[in-house]
Structure 1
Amino acid sequence: MANRVLAALKHTILALDKTAFLNLYKSLIRPHLEYASVIWNPALKRDKDTLEQVQRRATRLVQGLSHLSYSGRLASLQLPTLQFRRLRADVIQTFKILKNIDNINYSRECPECGKAMFQPVTINHKHSSSLWLSPYQPPKLLQPDFPANFEDN
């Protein structure tokens, strides 16, 4: 969907200055790229690159910046990478869960999963935070008891 909006924007407006681009990009394109990113944050590099490619193409629309590298265009527009924004959203969501700001409904099949996911561990170190999160090991799912071979009788 973000590609469609970007294409429509490209065909509608011939040249964009920085302010107009930022307003249009932040309101029309970036929400599609970041929707529910805390839940579906891509794990594969190719998926991350696909998302970043949309922002890469979008920044080329700004008049006078197309000759710059991608990082140069981001610096000129004062935009972070989408990877940075996804990481920031994850940190904010973790904070909200730890501080009980967000009410999370854990599944009925595994109510202890959510409680175990964010267990604070108190450690006393001089040069470190006193609050750490313990690594989460999800429980193994119960497998149905099927016979090992399915030969016809």
Structure 2
Amino acid sequence: MHRHSVGAYLLDSSSLESDLGVLVDDQLTMSQQCALVTKKASGILGCIKKSVASRSREVLLLLFSAVVRPHLEYCVQFWASHFKKDEDLLERVQRRATRTMRGLEHLSYEERLRELVLFSLEKRPRGDLINAYKYLKGGCREDGARLFLVVPSDMTRGNGHKLKHGKFQLNTRKKFFTLRVTEPWNRLPGEVVVSPSLEIFEACVDKVLCSLLWVTLLRQGGWTR
């Protein structure tokens, strides 16, 4: 409520702040950031559809992965959507992109993701896990010591490097990176967690997530390969 001024000029107050391209409101809901990202990504996808004659999955998937999806995932560890309506808004862009690829028009969205080996934007564990590795095992371990609390290895089963799930009072906190990454990290096999380098960790995580994707889609769709 304080009024700031520069010389004799009073500055207007605002409930929205832009930091490194991410819009943050005073409620930390990230809805306006989701709308902004969706608009940018949709515009780029529209340009691709108008300027690229090919409808092959090889061409369009490459373009989507290179110039559209990065907008949907930029700094998402910070601004992960809090509401279903925002998640649906982001997911709509990927739905449109996969629908335009030749040979996939008759398939459902889940089947198209399976064919293209893509993950739903609603569940983005890969980026979270990679960043968690940087904080816990990589070059950001000093910061990670302040962000995460590691459970002693003699008190855990599984990977031996599990994280303690912190307590929170505000419902918004459960979407924060340090809380939502705890469960997927704790589920990783021990040999993945102790990977000697980030490159090896990424390759191992891709294998784990791909296997989980197949199992999930098979259960949801009721079909076999």
What TM-score comes out, normalization by structure 2 length? Answer: 0.51
RMSD, aligned α-carbons:
2.5
The yes-or-no answer on 1:68 pairing with 2:107 is: yes
The yes-or-no answer on 1:120 pairing with 2:150 is: yes
Q: State the partner residue of 1:133.
A: 163
The yes-or-no answer on 1:90 pairing with 2:128 is: yes
Q: Could you say which structure has the higher helix fraction?
A: 2
CA displacement at 1:67 relative to structure 2: 1.4
SS in 2 for 1:124: helix
What TM-score comes out, normalization by structure 1 length? Answer: 0.73
- In the alignment, structure 1 segments of 5+ residues that lack a partner are 106-113, 139-153
Q: How many residues align?
A: 130
The yes-or-no answer on 1:101 pairing with 2:139 is: yes
State the distance in 2 between where 1:103 and 1:2 align: 33
Q: Mapping of 1:1-153 within 5 angstroms? A: 1-84=40-123, 86-102=124-140, 115-124=145-154, 127-137=157-167
SS in 1 for 2:151: strand
Q: State the partner residue of 1:142.
A: none
Deviating more after overlay: 42-51 vs 122-131: 122-131
User: Contact (CA 8 Å) 1:116, 1:136: kept in 2 or not?
Assistant: no
User: Contact (CA 8 Å) 2:156, 2:162: kept in 1 or not?
Assistant: no
Q: Label 1:120 to 1:127 Cα distance change in 2 as closer, same or farther (>3 A).
A: closer
Q: State the partner residue of 1:111.
A: none
The letter of the residue matching 1:62 is M
**Structure whose CA Rg is larger:** 1
Q: Label 1:38 to 1:68 Cα distance change in 2 as closer, same or farther (>3 A).
A: same
- In the alignment, structure 2 segments of 5+ residues that lack a partner are 1-39, 169-225
